[in-house]
Amino acid sequence: MTRLEKLGHNVLFVDPPINTGRLFMRQILQGKWSPLKLLTKTQKMGNVLVFSPLDFSPAHEKHAELHAKAIQNATKKFFNPDRNTILWIYHVEIAGLDQYLKYIEHDFLVYDCVDNYAGFPKYSTPEKKDAINKKEQGLAMRANVVFSTAPGLVEKLKKFNSNVYFTPNVGDYPKFFDIKARIRNYPEDIKSIPHPIVGFYGAVDNYKFDRELMKKIVTDYPKYSFVIIGPIALKDREGSLEELGLGGLPNLHYLGTKPFSEIHNYVAAFDATIIPYRLNDYTVGGCFPVKFHEGLAAGLPTIVTDLPAYAPFADVCYIAKSYNEFSQFVRKALEDDSLERRMARQKVAKSNDWDGKVERMLRIIGDLLKK
């Protein structure tokens, strides 16, 4: 969003609709809704206009039509009529998607696919999987271009659209580059943890995070410190280390959830980073964690499970095909680290940053608009 603005584009970003219930009241109390935002549902920041729709009832499909018409009115005031309007959809699950496509006038439609939605636990029956797959298929067929962040997503979506491009997730290179050399004063809650520190940050979702693998490596290396940062999500509620079966491990430190604006300060204290994800329909079919390239940008040895998305980067990470291999790689990664290896990781991360990804996507869109 901000990179598009810096390139001279007006951007209207639409937040997912929220109900006027507890979450909304919490945001009110946190000061996130000014009187003007409450009145207009919009907030302007430079050439970015953020539209935050509110649903006042469970009739989400009907609300979608109202939201779409409000967005269309906002585009008339905010966009230059002499320039092409690109409708960029990445939230295929949004209620009333057809209403947005119908009422928001556009010259070009992008479907930016970042997840294998049918692999989410909430689509637990064949009927639910079929419904979300059909919704996604319809969007892919209507789109002028489809971007996909994982090889499995490309394979799935190219059946419905001839313009499907593999645009893997990337990291915030400037934020994480050489962070260990730039930050020496670590946050208080990690400062006293003994090194070496092997860290993970991100959502600890039960359907992605492999708790058994985590328990194995923590118990295999009692003299290493392992740090987890992020929310623990068990189904639809917040969980704990004990519920994950990871309680009572003296060398495992759970630091809770941290704002992304602070994460790099913690990564600076890591000696290696891990992404211990399960191999299932969701992860194998369409998962490529953004944190992968952030760890590389920091120069950190990175150990991952055998997801297809990592295959092109086998030279700069450790891809484990079993629990035992993952455990062995943790030790090997720390013992074999060197300046040469850190520079190789950072070189790959630099060529996989957001500026490069946005530039490539815009180039593809521009070429297709010329046809």
Q: What is the pLDDT of residue 242?
A: 86
Q: Which domain holds residue 104?
A: 2-170+354-370
The rounded distance, in Å, linking the Cα atoms of 69 and 151 is 36
Q: Which uninterrupted H or E stretch holds 30?
A: none
CA 268 to chain centre: 21
Do residues 301 and 186 share a domain?
A: yes
Place of tokens 């905010």: 78
Q: 104 and 240, same structural domain?
A: no
The residue behind tokens 């400062």 is 191
Per-residue pLDDT tens digits of the chain, which is 371 residues long: 678 888 889 999 999 888 888 878 888 888 888 888 888 888 888 899 999 999 888 788 889 999 999 999 999 989 998 999 999 999 899 999 999 999 999 999 999 999 999 888 889 899 999 999 999 999 999 999 999 998 899 999 999 999 999 999 999 999 999 899 999 889 999 999 999 999 999 989 888 999 999 999 999 999 999 999 999 876 555 677 888 889 999 999 999 999 999 999 999 999 999 999 999 988 888 889 999 999 999 999 999 999 999 999 999 999 999 999 999 999 999 999 999 999 999 999 999 999 999 999 999 999 999 87
In this prediction, residue 245 carries a pLDDT of: 86
Both 137 and 256 in one domain: the answer is no
Instruction: Fill in the DSSP letter of residue 84.
Output: P
Q: Annotate 173-190 with DSSP letters as a single string.
A: HHHHTTHHHH--S--HHH
146 and 181 fall within a common domain: no
pLDDT at residue 23, rounded to an integer:
77
Give the model's pLDDT for residue 236.
Answer: 56
- Give the C-alpha separation, 227 to 292, whole Å: 16
Residue 303's CATH number: 3.40.50.2000
Amino acid 176: pLDDT: 96
**How open is the CA angle 137-141-145, to the nearest 5 degrees?**
115
100/9 same-domain check:
yes
**What does the chain come to in residues?**
371
Q: Residue 172 and residue 309: Cα distance in Å, rounded?
A: 18
Q: How many domains does the chain have?
A: 2
Closest CA to 11 of 73, 70, 78: 78
- Helices (runs of H) and strands (runs of E) counted in the chain: 18, 18
Residue 311, classified by CB atoms within 10 Å of its CB into exposed (0-12), middle (13-18) or buried (19+), is exposed
pLDDT of residue 234: 65
Do 88 and 149 share a domain, yes or no?
yes
- Which tokens sit at 211? 């708790």
Please answer whether residues 144 and 109 qualify as being in contact, where contact means their C-beta atoms are separated by less than 8 angstroms.
yes
Do 94 and 208 lie in one domain? The reply is no
pLDDT of residue 238: 67
Question: Are 159 and 180 contained in the same domain?
Answer: no
Residues 206 and 251 in one domain: yes
Q: In terms of domains, do 131 and 196 share one?
A: no
pLDDT of residue 285: 81
User: In angstroms, what CA-CA distances link 94 with 38, 130, 153, 286?
Assistant: 22, 16, 19, 19
Q: Report how far residue 203's alpha carbon sits from residue 209's, in angstroms, rounded to the nearest whole number.
A: 8
Clarify whether residues 161 and 178 are in a common domain.
no
201 burial class (0-12, 13-18, 19+ CB within 10 angstroms)?
buried
Considering the domain architecture, whether residues 344 and 231 belong to the same structural domain is answered as yes
